Amino acid sequence: MNDTKSLQHPLPVPRREARGLQTAMFDAVRKLAPRHMVRNPVMAVVWLGTLVTAVATLAGWAQPGFGWAVTGILLITVLFGNFAEALAESRGRGQAASLRRARQDLMARRLDPAGRETGVPAAELRPGDLVVIEAGQPVPADGEIVEGLATINEAAVTGESAPVLREAGTDRSGVIGGTQVLSDRIVVRVTAEPGHSFLDRMIALVEGSNRQKTPNEIALGILLGVMTLSFLIVVVTLPFIAGFVGVPVNVVLLVALLVCLIPTTIGGLLPAIGIAGMNRALQANVLAKSGKAVEVAGDVDVLLLDKTGTITHGDRQATAFHALAGVDAAQLRQAALLASLADPTPEGKSIVRLARGKDETLDGPAGAHFVPFSAQTRMSGVDLPGGRSIRKGAMDAIARHVQAQGGAVPTELEVRASSVARKGATPLVVSDGRHVLGVIELSDVIKHGLKERFARLRAMGVKTVMITGDNPLTAAHIAAEAGVDDYIAEARPEDKLARIRAEQAGGRLVAMVGDGTNDAPALAQADVGLAMNAGTQAAKEAGNMVDLDSDPAKLLAVVEIGKQQLITRGALTTFSLANDVSKYFAILPALFAAAIPQMAALDVMRLGSPASAVLSALIFNAIVIPLLIPLALRGVRFKPSGATQLLRNNMLIYGVGGVVLPFIAIKLIDLVLSALFTL
């Protein structure tokens, strides 16, 4: 994954990492406070066991050397668990520091109802206020452009140095407080209350203060808590059971047995895995409003993807005019030009350029009324003085319009449109009153490498559905070339919502991407809604993720991040539980072998002495946590495959490996300790 666009930090990488490690070490000690430890039942039990062994050693219930060694190892185990969480949090704080520099105390030029400007602090702005921003000035608050267009530097938020264009009346009208206007003049309507801006929410999220545990994380936490309670009951009752056979059990050994049996490894790493999942999303320049959104992305069954900008580059350009029989080519060009003069979309501007390039010089006549494009009508145009009505749009929409005017649709139109569609281009039909004039050919290019990514998703069991306003022929051609599983042609906003509800009614989780106000209902309905940073405020509020790069194809990366988080948690949980089997064979013989010689048969590792066995198991239990921290933060690398294959690989690598590795490591540690005891 490319991290070059991730949020920047002024310190060099080595210094930044050193400072992060130092901060995490201090935080690991600070987290020993009881109010923090109770949030993690497994590590809280280890911390309580540390105190019990310290008291037992002071009271003379254990040999001082052995007792203090156990106490020290247990304390280190707790600190390592705290360090894993603190290290993940420190990365978020480093990112938050760069965001705070963008959220400085700003001044705004607020417009009153009479249109007069007043200088006010940005903190006094309220939703609905209008502010004027010119070249060289920072954006004082989150909002939407209602007048003008400008290039804006969003590097403070996205880390991307290239300026972006934001324009009123389009789906790329949103601006963020703290970014810089580089050109022109815009009027912005404020949409966020002070303290609830986009940057404020980002800072809170990356610092972890608003991190909510995911359902899977909560369920796993409950399971670990129940396991810990069960082993605690077993260990507490063990002295009474041993008393019936006359076997005294030392309290320090009991604590050691408990710590080795409970799942301390995953207990120490679980918070770090959750935080790291959100950090990995942010490194991909995706702001997840909660950890739940990242994890749900890993369980997604269906992806709804807009064609334009996601599957194709989204830069559809008019490449040709196709006049119908009996229609002069100049008449078609002139009508297309007039219908597009007030069209702010890239397609509309490209039609004007193509017509101008063929020596068309018409301008909009006085009294002309321009009709903007809408997703409901799927056409736009102009009404001219004298009752002349020119329209351009989808073939079915123009056909209905012409028929409503009392005209007829020539049979040649379908042939022309189908010819354009079979090439993968989009046909736009032009009409003048009740007469159809011809077809405009709009061409786009499929993004490189998407077919392979769709194949990866298919291997993971994720179905991809392309949504487009194109006619079925064009949609079928693009879908086949891109490699998506299904498509919805001539789609309206309500069609997206209906498809999401239909998939969810079948028990499937759905993800989609959107940037416009008309996408907001579908984004809110989807299980994972990825909104574009450049989109409208309504879309960003409705989605549970925001892509800072405004790249619709980022949804594919989000799914892979979610899959990786789920696999990482599952792999480390498997490894942790498998560890307990090996530690059982190390500790239990040490407890009873002296009093019950038959128990020596369980000492399959032939450890040097009971004390060495206990210390070896505890040392391994402690050091395995920091050894796994990089894996927890980076995530387990995975290849796209089905659930059965993933489970098989998980059990083979982390299950079998989790049983075998402790046997080897504990035996090696025992050899070292035995040599030291001999010396």
Mean predicted confidence (pLDDT) in 544-570:
82
Contact status, residue 148 vs residue 184, Cβ threshold 8 Å: yes
The answer to whether the annotation marks 515 as part of a ligand binding site is yes
* CATH architecture, domain defined by 286-311+447-548: 3-Layer(aba) Sandwich (3.40)
The answer to whether the annotation marks 347 as part of a ligand binding site is yes
The answer to whether the annotation marks 378 as part of a ligand binding site is yes
Kindly indicate whether the domain formed by 313-445 is annotated with CATH number 3.40.1110.10: yes
Structure tokens at 230: 């069960």
Of 178-182, 394-398, 528-532, the range with the highest mean pLDDT is 394-398
Structure tokens at 71: 């106490």
Instruction: Give 620's pLDDT tier (boundaries 50, 70, 90).
Output: very high
Gap between the Cα atoms of 85 and 272, Å rounded: 4
Judged against a pLDDT cut of 90, whether residue 187 lies above it is answered with: yes
CATH top class, domain 107-195: mainly beta
Cα 409 to chain center, whole Å? 48
Cα 210 to chain center, whole Å? 16
CA angle 541, 514, 213 (to 5 degrees): 50
pLDDT at residue 273 in the model:
83
- Amino acid letter at 135? A
Judged against a pLDDT cut of 70, whether residue 483 lies above it is answered with: yes
Of 126-140, 505-519, 522-536, the range with the highest mean pLDDT is 126-140
Contact status, residue 311 vs residue 466, Cβ threshold 8 Å: yes
For residues 128-151, one letter each, b for 16 or more C-beta atoms within 10 angstroms of the residue's C-beta and e for the rest, the string is ebbbbbeeebbbbbbbbbeebbbe
Mean predicted confidence (pLDDT) in 57-66:
87
**Which of 47-61, 201-215, 259-273, 279-293 shows the lowest per-residue confidence on average (mean pLDDT)?**
201-215
Q: Which residues contact 68 (CB under 8 A, 6 or more apart)?
A: 57
Instruction: Give 103's pLDDT tier (boundaries 50, 70, 90).
Output: low
* Residues in a beta bridge with 513: 530
The position carrying tokens 């140095």 is 161
Residue limits of CATH 3.40.1110.10 in the chain: 313-445
The position carrying tokens 């009740």 is 434
Contact status, residue 542 vs residue 521, Cβ threshold 8 Å: yes
pLDDT at residue 634 in the model:
85
**Which of 11-20, 109-118, 249-258, 369-378 shows the lowest per-residue confidence on average (mean pLDDT)?**
11-20
Mean predicted confidence (pLDDT) in 635-658:
79
Give per-residue pLDDT as tens, 135-176: 888 888 888 899 998 888 877 666 555 677 888 877 678 888
Mean predicted confidence (pLDDT) in 14-32:
77
Gap between the Cα atoms of 53 and 639, Å rounded: 45
The answer to whether the annotation marks 343 as part of a ligand binding site is yes
Instruction: Give 133's pLDDT tier (boundaries 50, 70, 90).
Output: very high
Structure tokens at 338: 């007039």
Instruction: Give 93's pLDDT tier (boundaries 50, 70, 90).
Output: low
Residue 589's closest CA among 579, 597, 577, 580?
597
Whole-Å CA distances, 419 to 415, 416, 473:
6, 5, 9
The answer to whether the annotation marks 380 as part of a ligand binding site is yes
The rounded percent of the chain whose pLDDT value lies above 90 is: 17
Instruction: Give 435's pLDDT tier (boundaries 50, 70, 90).
Output: very high
Contact status, residue 440 vs residue 398, Cβ threshold 8 Å: no
Contact status, residue 499 vs residue 488, Cβ threshold 8 Å: yes
Give, for 444, the enclosing helix (H) or strand (E): none
Mean predicted confidence (pLDDT) in 335-347:
83
Pseudo-torsion of CA 68, 71, 76, 81, nearest 10°?
A: 180
Pairing state of beta strands 463-467 and 486-488?
parallel
pLDDT at residue 300 in the model:
87
The rounded percent of the chain whose pLDDT value lies above 70 is: 86
Pseudo-torsion of CA 383, 387, 392, 397, nearest 10°?
A: 110
- Amino acid letter at 431? S
Question: Based on C-alpha coordinates, what's the Rg of the chain?
Answer: 32
CA angle 318, 321, 323 (to 5 degrees): 155
Gap between the Cα atoms of 656 and 637, Å rounded: 18
Three-class SS of residue 526? coil
Structure tokens at 120: 């006010």
Q: Is 306 a catalytic residue?
A: yes
In Å, the largest CA–CA distance within the chain is 111
The answer to whether the annotation marks 373 as part of a ligand binding site is yes
pTM greater than 0.75: no
Of 163-177, 455-469, 595-609, the range with the highest mean pLDDT is 455-469
The answer to whether the annotation marks 374 as part of a ligand binding site is yes
Give per-residue pLDDT as tens, 371-417: 887 767 778 899 988 888 999 988 888 999 999 988 899 989 989 98
Residue limits of CATH 2.70.150.10 in the chain: 107-195
**Share of the chain residues as helix, strand and coil, in percent rounded to the nearest 5:** 55, 15, 30
Gap between the Cα atoms of 353 and 106, Å rounded: 41
Contact status, residue 108 vs residue 20, Cβ threshold 8 Å: no
Contact status, residue 560 vs residue 229, Cβ threshold 8 Å: no
The answer to whether the annotation marks 375 as part of a ligand binding site is yes
pLDDT at residue 12 in the model:
46
Three-class SS of residue 320? strand
pLDDT at residue 214 in the model:
67
pLDDT at residue 3 in the model:
40
Residue 178's closest CA among 134, 126, 124, 137?
137
Euclidean distance between the first and the last CA atom of the chain, given in angstroms as a whole number: 51
For residues 617-628, one letter each, b for 16 or more C-beta atoms within 10 angstroms of the residue's C-beta and e for the rest, the string is bbbbbbbbbbeb
Give, for 487, the enclosing helix (H) or strand (E): strand 486-488
The answer to whether the annotation marks 231 as part of a ligand binding site is no
pLDDT at residue 6 in the model:
40
Gap between the Cα atoms of 203 and 209, Å rounded: 9
Mean predicted confidence (pLDDT) in 88-96:
64
The answer to whether the annotation marks 569 as part of a ligand binding site is no
Judged against a pLDDT cut of 90, whether residue 69 lies above it is answered with: yes
Instruction: Give 112's pLDDT tier (boundaries 50, 70, 90).
Output: confident
More confident: 282 or 115: 115
pLDDT at residue 13 in the model:
44
Judged against a pLDDT cut of 50, whether residue 512 lies above it is answered with: yes
Instruction: Give 497's pLDDT tier (boundaries 50, 70, 90).
Output: confident
Say how many C-beta atoms besides its own lie within 10 A of residue 629's C-beta. Answer: 21
Crossing angle between the packed helical segments 610-634 and 264-283, to the nearest 10 degrees: 20
* Residues in a beta bridge with 438: 323, 430
User: What's the residue count for the chain?
Assistant: 679
Which entry of 142, 200, 299, 306 is annotated as an active-site residue? 306
Gap between the Cα atoms of 229 and 41, Å rounded: 9
Structure tokens at 654: 């982390």
Mean predicted confidence (pLDDT) in 643-661:
83
Three-class SS of residue 435? strand
Judged against a pLDDT cut of 90, whether residue 47 lies above it is answered with: yes
* Mean per-residue pLDDT over the chain, rounded: 82
Say how many C-beta atoms besides its own lie within 10 A of residue 512's C-beta. Answer: 29
> What's the number of CA atoms in the CB half-sphere (13 Å) around residue 144?
20
More confident: 28 or 275: 28
Gap between the Cα atoms of 487 and 476, Å rounded: 7
pLDDT at residue 180 in the model:
85
The answer to whether the annotation marks 620 as part of a ligand binding site is no
> What is the side-by-side strand order in the sheet with 164-167?
164-167, 149-153, 180-181
Cα 231 to chain center, whole Å? 37
Residue limits of CATH 3.40.50.1000 in the chain: 286-311+447-548
pLDDT at residue 10 in the model:
41
Of 191-205, 323-337, 665-679, the range with the highest mean pLDDT is 323-337
**Which of 420-429, 493-502, 515-524 shows the lowest per-residue confidence on average (mean pLDDT)?**
515-524
* Residues in a beta bridge with 125: none
Crossing angle between the packed helical segments 215-244 and 291-298, to the nearest 10 degrees: 90
Give, for 528, the enclosing helix (H) or strand (E): strand 528-532
Mean predicted confidence (pLDDT) in 461-466:
88
pLDDT at residue 5 in the model:
41
